[in-house]
Amino acid sequence: MSVEAERLALETIDGVVLDAEAAVPPSPWAAAVVCHPHPLYGGDMRNNVVDALVRALSETGVAAVRFDFRGVGRSGGEHGEGETERLDVVAAIDAAAPLAGEGPVLLAGYSFGAAVALSVADARIDGWFLVAPPLALPRSTPLIASTDHRPKLIQAPDHDQFTPPAAMEEAVAGWAATTIEVVPMADHFMAGATGVVGERAAAFIKTLAVR
C-alpha cells in the first residue's frame, strides 16, 4: 500500500531552508532519512533509487524523510561539496527522529548521498544503509562513520563504474561493523535494481529494531 507524502520545510543550523517531504504510515515503528545523489549531476530527492527506498521503507511501516540538499530545487543555499550538506542531513534527522517513537532511526543514501551520510555520526542514528557510495574517489570530507560501531550495510553494484565490489572491499577494510552486499547485474546507476535495494533496506531496518 502506497503512503501519501507530506511536504516539509527543514531549517539547518546555519539557517538554510530545505525542501523536503515525509512519507508517514499509520503508527510508524521506525524512521529513516534518505539522501539523494550528486546535485551537480542531476541528483535530487526524486531520484529513482531514493524513490525505491522511500517506497519500500514506508510500505513496511517506517516513516521516511527525503529532502533536496542545499542549492537543489526549492532548497535554499548553495552546493557545499559535501561539507555543509552534513548540516542538511542533521536537519532531516531532526524531522525524522520524533516519528520513530521508540524504534530505530536509519540513515540511508545513494552515491553522493551515501558519502555524505557516512560523514554524519549523529547520536540518534541506529544504522546506515548505503547504496553505491563512491568510496574509491578522492574526497575532502572525512567518513567519520567508518570508526563507529553502529551497523553499516553497503550495497555494491556488481558493475559499478566508480567503486566496484573489489574496490569497495578494499576501501572499507578495517571499518567497524560494516557489511557489503553485492547487487547483481547492476551498475552505479542502478537501472533495474532499485527494487532489490528497497527490499534490502526494509529488511535491514528490521534488524536494527531487535538490537
- In this prediction, residue 85 carries a pLDDT of 97
**47: Cβ–Cβ under 8 A, 6 or more apart, which residues?**
36, 37, 110
Amino acid symbol at 150? R
User: 159-188, pLDDT tens digit by residue?
Assistant: 999 999 999 999 999 999 999 999 999 999
CA-to-CA distance for 192 and 75, rounded, in angstroms?
Answer: 29
Q: Which three cell numbers stand for residue 50?
A: 531514493
**Average pLDDT in the 182-209 region?**
97
3-state secondary structure of 98: helix
- By residue range, what is the domain housing residue 100? 5-209
Among all chains, which residue has been given the C-alpha cell 551497523?
151
User: 140-153, pLDDT tens digit by residue?
Assistant: 678 999 999 999 99
| Domain CATH code at residue 20 | 3.40.50.1820
List the one residue out of 143, 100, 103, 140 whose CA is nearest residue 120. Answer: 143
- In this prediction, residue 138 carries a pLDDT of 85
Asked if 37 contacts 111 with a C-beta cutoff of 8 angstroms, the reply is yes
Which alpha helices (H) appear in 97-193, and where do they start and end?
Answer: 112-117, 165-171
- Count of domains forming the chain: 1
Predicted confidence (pLDDT) at residue 1 exceeds the cutoff of 90: no
CA-to-CA distance for 47 and 209, rounded, in angstroms?
Answer: 27
